[in-house]
Amino acid sequence: MAKEMKKYFVTGNTFPIKDQLKDMGCQWDSEAGHWYHTSKRVAEKAQQLVPAQGEKQFIEGDSYLLKDQLKQMGCRWDRESSRWYHNDQVIAQQAQKLIADAQQKHYFSGDAFAVKDRLKELGCEWDTETKQWYHKDKDMAAQAQAVIDQGPERHYIQGAVFDQREQLKTAGAEWDPEARAWFHTDKNVAEQLQASVSPSAPAQDKHYLQGAPFELKEQLKDLGCQWDPGCKQWYHTDNETAAKAQELVNQQIQKRVSAPELKAPTASAVLAASAQADHGL
């Protein structure tokens, strides 16, 4: 078993000379928080390079989110005062500026994901540590917060009719009860939906036929009549054509009345005919 090499630590403010220590072969001990070398002679030379320690230059402000950056700058935590400090005044000032800049970040509340593209347009930035959007300008931050509070921009789809609601729902559109219109938050999708519903023909009245028998279905189709499965009746959108079709139906009904009574059909035949009539076949 190999004997563990002894570590000779280099103490003091070693941050300014860390590159020199690396060149000398020193290594960083993360547990001890010091550089060291296994050669006493090299460690002594390295120690001579460490600048004399001055007074502790304390760093004020909320520094919790920046603690890793402060450590990299060579700052240390003073447990007694619960503050970070550095013995080098210049580095301490740099650390203080870092905290001051961070404190100028105006963070937003609410669901910002849906409007992230608009936040980017306003110059907002994403803080990977706090996982929040922010802006360093107070007025711009207020505008961005208003965008979040308002929610995604709504692109309305004009002229959509009731029969198109399933198509709109499938595409992700939503109904605005106040505006009484469909909308989508994606402008491109809204434009596509608008194009699909715009050339829709105006709603036409349905002129229903009364008492249309099953045997006339082919003639009614030839006249342009259509079957309404909801009310189980034939209809036509043109009043005059519907009148002609109704006359044809009335003539057929009259023939039935004047025709001699036929043998009553079987129960199965009645059920089959009823099923066919219900489906407009």
Residue pair 83/43 in contact by the 8 Å Cβ criterion = no
Q: Could you tell me if 45 and 58 lie in one domain? A: no
Q: Could you tell me if 3 and 40 lie in one domain? A: yes
Q: Is the pLDDT of residue 277 over 70?
A: no
- The 10s digit of each residue's pLDDT in 158-167 is 877 777 888 8
- Residue 236 phi/psi, 5-degree rounding, is -140, 145
Range of the domain at 115: 106-150
HSE of 140 in the Cβ direction (CA atoms, 13 Å)? 15
- The 10s digit of each residue's pLDDT in 41-75 is 999 999 988 877 667 889 888 777 788 889 988 89
Residue pair 85/76 in contact by the 8 Å Cβ criterion = yes
Torsion angle defined by CA atoms of residues 266, 270, 272 and 276, in that order, rounded to the nearest 10 degrees: 150
DSSP run (H or E) holding 235: strand 233-236
The sheet that has 106-107: what strands, in order across it? 106-107, 132-135, 125-127
List the structure tokens of 213: 């028998």
More confident residue, 273 or 189: 189
pLDDT of residue 202: 54
More confident residue, 199 or 101: 101
266 assigned to some structural domain: no
Contacts of 224 (CB under 8 A, 6+ apart): 236, 238, 241
Q: Predicted confidence band at 25 (pLDDT cuts at 50, 70, 90)?
A: very high
180 assigned to some structural domain: yes
* Cα–Cα distance measured from residue 14 to residue 22, given in angstroms and rounded to the nearest whole number: 11
202 assigned to some structural domain: no
Q: Is the pLDDT of residue 200 over 50?
A: no
Q: Could you tell me if 83 and 129 lie in one domain? A: no
Q: Is the pLDDT of residue 103 over 80?
A: no
Q: Predicted confidence band at 270 (pLDDT cuts at 50, 70, 90)?
A: very low
pLDDT of residue 42: 94
Q: Is the pLDDT of residue 260 over 70?
A: no
Give the residue carrying structure tokens 């961005």: 144
* Pick from 165, 184, 21, 19: nearest CA to 9: 21
Query: Is residue 31 helix, strand or coil?
Result: coil
List the structure tokens of 230: 């909801």
Mean pLDDT over the full length of the chain: 83
**Strand 27-29 relative to strand 34-37, pairing:** antiparallel
* Pick from 196, 194, 172, 197: nearest CA to 185: 172
* Cα–Cα distance measured from residue 205 to residue 235, given in angstroms and rounded to the nearest whole number: 10
Q: Is the pLDDT of residue 109 over 90?
A: no
Q: Is the pLDDT of residue 23 over 70?
A: yes
- The 10s digit of each residue's pLDDT in 205-244 is 889 898 888 899 999 999 999 988 877 889 998 899 999 9
Q: Is the pLDDT of residue 144 over 80?
A: yes
Give the residue carrying structure tokens 């711009």: 140
Q: Is the pLDDT of residue 168 over 60?
A: yes
Q: Could you tell me if 58 and 83 lie in one domain? A: yes
169 assigned to some structural domain: yes
Q: Could you tell me if 96 and 62 lie in one domain? A: yes
Domain count, the chain: 5
Over pLDDT 70: what percentage of the chain?
87
Residue pair 253/237 in contact by the 8 Å Cβ criterion = no
Residue pair 123/102 in contact by the 8 Å Cβ criterion = no
Residue pair 115/152 in contact by the 8 Å Cβ criterion = yes
Q: Could you tell me if 213 and 239 lie in one domain? A: yes
Q: Is the pLDDT of residue 273 over 60?
A: no
Q: Could you tell me if 59 and 89 lie in one domain? A: yes
